[in-house]
Amino acid sequence: MSRSDDELLDDIAAAITSIHSHLQHGPISVESVMDAVAMRLLEIGEAVKALSAGTPTRRPNTSDWISLGYGAAHDHRDRAQSARLDAA
């Protein structure tokens, strides 16, 4: 069952709130904080991918962080792939 755009936007907002909370436990250089933030960025990326195509147009105040979600998800994927290759 697919989620509505409103539910997905709520998911994104909750993930952003969680990121802020995680960063209260230490800098991003702390592995557990980095892992927690990375997981939330993946959640944001997945939610952004599931949004209807016109959502940024219909909700212009969301376009900046939707773009951030796309970028963060792709950046994390690229870094994870690079780390796997380095470990091999």
Give the chain's residues under pLDDT 50: 80
**32: domain range?**
5-87
pTM value? 0.64
Q: Give the per-residue pLDDT at 74.
A: 52
Q: Give the per-residue pLDDT at 22.
A: 92
Number of domains in the chain: 1
Q: Give the per-residue pLDDT at 25.
A: 92
Instruction: Return the exposure string of 58-87: e unless at least 16 CB atoms fall within 10 Å of the residue's CB, then b.
Output: eeeebeebbebbeebbeebeeeeeeeeeee
Q: Give the per-residue pLDDT at 15.
A: 93
The average confidence (pLDDT) of the chain is 76
